[in-house]
Amino acid sequence: MGEKDLLVLSIESSCDETSCAIVKNGREVLSNIIATQIEIHKRYGGVVPEIASRNHIDAISNVVNEALEKAGVSIEDIDLISATYGPGLVGALLVGLSTAKAMAWATKKPFLGVHHIEGHIAANYITHKDLEPPYICLVVSGGHSNLVYVKDYTEFEILGRTRDDAVGEAFDKVARVVGLGYPGGPKIDKMAKEGSPTYKLPKTFFEDSLDFSFSGIKTAVINLVHKEGDYINVPDLCASFEDAITDVLLSNLLKACEMKNTNKIALAGGVSANSYLRNALDKMGEENNLKIYYPELVYCTDNAAMIGSAAYFDHMAGKSSNLDLNAVPYLKLGDKLRK
């Protein structure tokens, strides 16, 4: 290791993945262990917060030990300990955050609380060693849909946000109503490949705003399913849903590029794994001479490596957190509760 190398141990537990990673200099992942609870929550059709917290508690020690072991380092080698402190489920967040704070206290190492969405954005730095701000980032996850101007590694300007459902939430609800189960995104992705966008669904745009609204599309799908019953063509409906969502996302994304006079775009969050969205964005990129960045699939959905990357850049910008930092379930992007 070089003399100035910075090793971060990071923890992510905001929803249903318990994860710990060791990340070097913000871009190199030495280990990234993810214990997912998907199988546990599947039977309830969605994440049950209390069950998520209990499972995080069961998993956290092993996940941390495994991350250190796989990276071939010991806790003494670590320079900075970090964890997601919001947004997310409060009981779930507290497990990872308390573990990180306790480790920082016991080892007297610096501690940094990381914003989950800033983590999703930072996932791109792991996959693309050459990516530097400024650029536009479209963050599309289960809980968030934001169009963000990333001015610098730790400076964000929100250009648009959803006024109702997050994109991933709409995917999950539509999947449930057509009987595909949880989590809906990957299942709709697969099913849509068998169909084509033949159903006409509403698309919401706002005048003078890059905000999003997905409840209209979602409700239209639900109404169609109820109206057509068994006659519904599920693959075509999935393709139509993806097509409508993608059109809205990409139109606003292009407007954001024009507004900020940039041709650099990054995608982030669980829904950035969606193949229809990626193909459409690649096409838009070619037509408009845009440079597009995606995180590798493993860094699209929740993971601790992205938190370790964001923590590194925060640390380099001189930021740190106190050990009394609490979990903030409704933390907004741009809100800082740090020292």
The footprint of ligand KG4 (CB under 6 A) covers 15, 141-143, 168, 171-172, 183-186, 189, 269-271, 273-274, 301-302
Which of Zn ion, ligand KG4, none does 137 bind, CB closer than 5 to 8 A by kind? none
Q: How far is CA 220 from CA 207, 224, 241, in A?
A: 22, 6, 10
Least CB distance to ligand KG4 at residue 123 (A)? 9
Specify which residues 115 forms β-bridges with. 86
Residue 33 beta carbon to ligand KG4: minimum distance, rounded to whole angstroms: 16
12 binds, among ligand KG4, Zn ion, none (CB under 5 to 8 A by kind): none
61 vs 275, beta carbon nearer ligand KG4? 275
CA distance 81 to 3: 19
CB of 78 to ligand KG4, least distance (A): 25
Angle, helices 167-177/215-228, rounded to nearest 10 degrees? 10
Nearer to ligand KG4, 71 or 307 (CB): 307
Which residues in this chain contact Zn ion in the complex, by CB under 5 A?
A: 141, 302
Task: Between 13 and 141, name the residue whose CB sits nearer to ligand KG4.
Answer: 141
Nearest distance from C-beta of residue 208 to ligand KG4, angstroms: 28
Supply the minimum distance, in Å, between the C-beta of residue 189 and ligand KG4: 4
Partner that binds at residue 183, options Zn ion, ligand KG4, none, CB closer than 5 to 8 Å by kind: ligand KG4
Least Å distance between CB 164 and Zn ion? 19
Residue 32 binding result from Zn ion, ligand KG4, none, given CB thresholds of 5 to 8 Å by partner type: none
Residue placing its CB nearer to ligand KG4 in the complex, 214 or 312: 214
- One-letter amino acid identity for 310? A
* For ligand KG4, the closer CB: 78 or 167: 167
Contacts of 192 by beta carbon, 8 Å cutoff, 6+ apart: 235, 238, 239, 241, 242, 276
Q: Where are the beta strands (DSSP E) in 145-279?
A: 145-152, 155-161, 264-268
For the bound state, the minimum distance from the C-beta of residue 218 to ligand KG4, rounded and expressed in Å, comes to: 12
- Do residues 158 and 148 touch, judged by C-beta distance below 8 A? yes
| DSSP 8-class letter at 291 | E
Helix (H) or strand (E) holding 31: strand 28-36
- 186 makes contact, choosing from Zn ion, ligand KG4, none, with CB < 5 to 8 Å by partner type, with ligand KG4
Half-sphere exposure of 54 (CA within 13 A, CB side): 7
Q: Which is nearer to Zn ion, 141 or 252 (CB)?
A: 141
**Helices and strands in the chain: count of H runs, count of E runs:** 11, 10
- CA nearest to 140, candidates 335, 270, 14, 328: 270
Longest dimension (CA), the chain: 66
- Please say which residue, 240 or 272, places its beta carbon nearer to Zn ion: 272
Residue 274 binds which entry of Zn ion, ligand KG4, none, CB below 5-8 Å type-dependent = ligand KG4
Tally of CB atoms within 10 A around 33: 23
Q: Which does 91 bind (CB under 5 to 8 A by kind): ligand KG4, Zn ion, none?
A: none
247 touches 204 (CB < 8 A): no
The count of other CB atoms within 10 Å of the CB of residue 278 is 16
